Structure 1
Amino acid sequence: MILMLKAVNRVLLGLLGLGLFALGGGVLLGGLDLQRRWDFGMPGWWPFRGPDDVVLGVEGRTRWREEGWWWPTVIAVLAVLLVLLLWWLLAQRGQRLDRVLVNSEDGAPARLNGRTLENVIEEEAQALDGVSHAHVRLTGRRTAPTARVRLLLEPHADPARTLGRLIRETLAHARDSAGLDRLPSKVRLREARHRARRTA
């Protein structure tokens, strides 16, 4: 089901991108008057034929002027459309994996709960010296997950040393335990800021 939704999502994104590309290209052709310069024609229904053409002509702008509901409705619809597109854009960010297919060494792949693997990596990362808090999220494909790791470091921590241990120990252990060939990772380090305490 998830794979089908991802495929539909990609098709819709592709069609939307293709439509916007065609529309933008057509407007650019008209705006630069390339039909006349390069001596070619556009379909009869295409509204942008030259630099003087506009998206919404005088008739379109004044047609519903007497109707008080028209422009508020147009603005509301465009606002809702913008919110939906922004939500869709944010939803395209790496989605969390619910399952990871691991090598069970008997010829049949086993399914490992993605959250369980995230928790294991988080616990091992938080056990590293200088790490105050760790957050891990697995994204990508079930057979080829990617780990997104955020570490909150104590002020005394050595970022280079902590990152090296995270890669060599924590992530390598998770990769080997799950029987994965690779476990690409994106790591973000941030220093914890403690508030100064007043002393009497």
Structure 2
Amino acid sequence: MSRLRHGTNRAVLLGVGAVLLVSGAALASTTGLVRDRLPAQWPRLPAGRTWLDGEALGHWRDQGWWPALVIAALSVGVLLFLWWGWAQVRPERLRELPLGQPGVTLSGPALAAAMAERAESVDGVARAQVTLLGRPRRLRARVTLVLAADGRPEAVLRDLARRAVAEVRAAAAPRSVEVDARLTVRQHKARRLR
């Protein structure tokens, strides 16, 4: 997780937590049980407080624009919350992999391209695409292989594990590398018979 995302997460959680804490404390101070135990100098809401009196409520009912505005604002808030949640759980592409010495890194896309090139050299593979996901301590490689017409899946997977996967695990050692391999078959155009 990047530092910016990590800092943004903490700031959002701190802000939401502060709003909920202040709101909960304010609402709790209206009950007699909590109100009697609070120090006298602390601010509190009156026990019989009415949030909207009849006149103010009638004024709001006369305005036709505010329900649509409230619904739109709540919808935008829910969409932003869903987007933020999705951004937290989606796997992040690996940009660079730190190696043993400080300042020495290996580019994630370069490692993925090398693994794809090595996977394409396996017999029976027509095309390969590799995406590296995860964090530098725990990597995940998503490998999509398009098999040639004569490619056998068992042999391709065995050769892939022996060549490309073994080399990536050796390059990333001592980190663990999980590999998700997806096999598809090259589509052939149907021949027409006359």
TM-score between the two structures when normalised by the length of structure 2: 0.64
Indicate how the Cα distance of structure 1 residues 132 and 111 shifts in structure 2: closer, same or farther if over 3 A, else same: same
Deviations 1:117-162 (A, max 9, x none): 1110111112222323322222222344332222233454333332
Note if contact 1:151-1:187 (Cα within 8 Å) is conserved in structure 2. Answer: no
* Structure 2 partner of 1:79: 75
- The one of 175, 178, 184 equivalent to 1:185 is 178
Note if contact 1:102-1:143 (Cα within 8 Å) is conserved in structure 2. Answer: no
For residue 158 of structure 2, what is the amino acid of its counterpart?
G
CA distance in 2, matches of 1:160, 1:94: 28
TM-score between the two structures when normalised by the length of structure 1: 0.62
Structure 2: runs of 5 or more not aligned: 21-26, 32-53
Q: What's the C-alpha RMSD, in Å, of the aligned pairs? A: 3.7
Matches within 5 A, 1:10-159: 10-11=9-10, 43=28, 64-92=60-88, 93-103=90-100, 108=102, 110-154=104-148, 156-159=150-153
Percent identity between the two aligned chains: 32
CA distance in 1, matches of 2:177, 2:68: 49
Shift of 1:11: 3.3
Counting matched residue pairs gives 165
Shift of 1:163: 2.2
Indicate how the Cα distance of structure 1 residues 110 and 153 shifts in structure 2: closer, same or farther if over 3 A, else same: same
